[in-house]
Structure 1
């Protein structure tokens, strides 16, 4: 695997740490910016909004720029946005910095995955994607907790500047190691948008949104569920969440190994396991061993199915940066839709298990979305085997 793939993972690690680290320093930011804790929470939403809306627009503007130059420009924009947030003296300045970061992050994800697909053999696309995406997993397991600890020791500005420096460092590494590239064929924004008029591509996008929505409907409320339903002590919650994060890392690499050759099978069985884990958690969550097992299974599937989602999207359309950037936007829509629906279930007095049932429902729809393709793939395999057997008989 080219070493550049690991440098791309480092960039993704920095980007994802920046996205979610706000959750661990809400009281400090609220005090420093003179706003409520809920308004600090909106900083994550502003970041995600930049990813969903701004990312594809920025990617269209960079269509006729070489991929190396485009990636370095995006990392530069991200570093500027992170620096603006680090230097912010008012809430409004912080919002501007977060939106800039979100816009650049979405396009960075898209072009990083496009570069991976371009640099490795066709049979290793999912494996390279798994390495890049592992930056996201490691950020949730190590980056965000480390950011919280550093914030408590040195203050929130130190952490923001540190992430900005890490992002800039990854840009320097990529500037040195990434081979120069050129634009093979100039294209227009209209031509790229026409390429998105692909039913199979949007079906793939839909499945990705359902998988992430199902996962985050539950994950967003793991802490209160583990406390109030499973009866775990508050002191064990960080350890359980780290265990979940470790499971996502392991699952990501397993899926990356299998997804190139067995894309649809991995998506089907992964969602079946995810559904079973969510249902078991909802029904028997009061039993600690069941809750723990379900937590691990959700980690091994759920977000960890990302390499298979990427492989399916690329097979459905292409590895173009715009296709991957829109995919990142759709995934973020699924993330926040799942979280919102899970919270709605609780607010409507359906109980603390409601997010688990919401997640299970979305996962079932996700399974159904790939069943026709799995059956079609199996039918095609059986036809090929039949033809091969007939040819052998003739010989």
Structure 2
């Protein structure tokens, strides 16, 4: 992989850490700003809203910009928004800046994916996408916890100032290491919008939402699951969570290598793997020697299909890479966003923590028809 691909992953790690860091410092934010915990939680929703709602329009707005300029601009907007929210010390301002962060984050991710596949040969596009997405998985399992730990010693703002510094460094490195592209090389807005009407593309987006929700619903409640159901001592929970991240990197590496040639195999393996791991977690919930390795395997299964998803999107929407990439980001974020509602509905109905893994298994099973439909539509188009 070219150096620029790894740089894009680093920048995504820096920006993505701000998303996962917030959950670890919500009580401190609520106390400091003298707001309720639910009001502090709205900061998470504001970020998600920026990604889901604003990503595709922002992609169209910046479509004719040179890609390197767009990458740097979105990083600057992101870093400045975070900094303003920290300095203002006001909940309303913080809410607005979180929304702006979501917009910039979605715009960066979409252009980063397109830039990455432009830096490699066609037979390595899924692998390049997998490397870029690995920045997000690293943010999930390392950046967020590390930022929260920094905030423990410096106050909740400390971790976010770290995000500002890393994002600024990523912007500078992008100027130095990412090749410039001409705006003339960009597809037209009309062509991008026309390409987005292809049914196969929305089938892949459905698989994206389902797969993300399928593994994230277990991951989001894993700490409580481990301590309350499995009986793992709290001191070991971070180490078990880190195993999920190790599995994610393994899944991205394996998925990136097979997705370019056999995307259906990667998608199906991920779906069935998530379903199997989720069921086994529910059945063997009380047995730590079984649960711990299953967390690793869930990470592998969850991320083995991500390169294939990007590969399918860019194969189907080759004429609309920027808008299609932005919509993929929104689909990922939508999958993450529906998790609290699904889990909350189950628990409010009296179900225990193991219900989240059963929901994950059901969501994973629902991926299979979308994969088969994508394969059928692809064969029809070839014939």
For 2:95 and 2:315, the matched residues in 1 are separated by 37
Q: Which one is further off, 10-19 or 292-301?
A: 292-301
Deviation at 1:83, TM superposition (A): 1.1
Does residue 65 of structure 1 match 2:65?
yes
Cross-structure match for 1:287: 287
For 2:46 and 2:353, the matched residues in 1 are separated by 27
For 2:38 and 2:7, the matched residues in 1 are separated by 35
SS across alignment from 2:230: coil
Residue pair 1:213, 1:339 contacting (<8 A) in 2 also: no
Counting only pairs closer than 5 Å after superposition, residues 35-184 of structure 1 correspond to structure 2 as 35-184=35-184
Report the number of matched residues. 382
Cross-structure match for 2:348: 347
Cross-structure match for 1:391: none
Q: Which one is further off, 199-208 or 215-224?
A: 215-224
Residue pair 1:7, 1:173 contacting (<8 A) in 2 also: yes
Cross-structure match for 1:227: 227
Deviation at 1:54, TM superposition (A): 1.2
Q: Which one is further off, 216-225 or 163-172?
A: 216-225
For 2:125 and 2:135, the matched residues in 1 are separated by 16
Deviation at 1:234, TM superposition (A): 2.1
Please tell me whether Structure 1 or Structure 2 has the larger radius of gyration of its CA atoms: 1
Cross-structure match for 1:213: 213
Residue pair 1:55, 1:107 contacting (<8 A) in 2 also: yes
Residue pair 1:65, 1:183 contacting (<8 A) in 2 also: yes
Cross-structure match for 1:310: 310
For 1:22 and 1:368, the matched residues in 2 are separated by 35
Deviation at 1:340, TM superposition (A): 1.7
Call closer, same or farther: CA 1:370–1:187 in 2, change over 3 Å: closer
Deviation at 1:350, TM superposition (A): 2.1
Residue pair 1:26, 1:41 contacting (<8 A) in 2 also: yes
Call closer, same or farther: CA 1:270–1:186 in 2, change over 3 Å: closer
For 1:211 and 1:260, the matched residues in 2 are separated by 19
Deviation track 1:145-183 (CA, whole Å, cap 9, x = no partner) reads 211121111222232222112111111111122222112
Deviation at 1:23, TM superposition (A): 1.3
Q: Which one is further off, 166-175 or 30-39?
A: 30-39
For 2:12 and 2:336, the matched residues in 1 are separated by 18
For 1:241 and 1:254, the matched residues in 2 are separated by 20
Cross-structure match for 1:327: 328
Deviation at 1:188, TM superposition (A): 5.3
Residue pair 1:68, 1:180 contacting (<8 A) in 2 also: yes
Normalized against structure 1, the TM-score is what? 0.91
Residue pair 2:141, 2:242 contacting (<8 A) in 1 also: yes
SS across alignment from 1:258: helix
Structure 2 residue runs without a partner (length 5+):
none
Counting only pairs closer than 5 Å after superposition, residues 18-37 of structure 1 correspond to structure 2 as 18-37=18-37
For 2:227 and 2:16, the matched residues in 1 are separated by 27
For 1:83 and 1:225, the matched residues in 2 are separated by 35
Residue pair 2:201, 2:317 contacting (<8 A) in 1 also: yes
For 1:150 and 1:351, the matched residues in 2 are separated by 33
Deviation track 1:209-251 (CA, whole Å, cap 9, x = no partner) reads 1100111222221122222222222222222111112211221
Q: Which one is further off, 35-44 or 45-54?
A: 35-44
Deviation at 1:11, TM superposition (A): 0.6
Deviation at 1:21, TM superposition (A): 0.5
Q: Which one is further off, 298-307 or 197-206?
A: 298-307
Normalized against structure 2, the TM-score is what? 0.94
For 1:186 and 1:205, the matched residues in 2 are separated by 23
Residue pair 1:218, 1:342 contacting (<8 A) in 2 also: no
For 2:379 and 2:92, the matched residues in 1 are separated by 54
Deviation at 1:255, TM superposition (A): 1.1
Residue pair 2:147, 2:158 contacting (<8 A) in 1 also: no
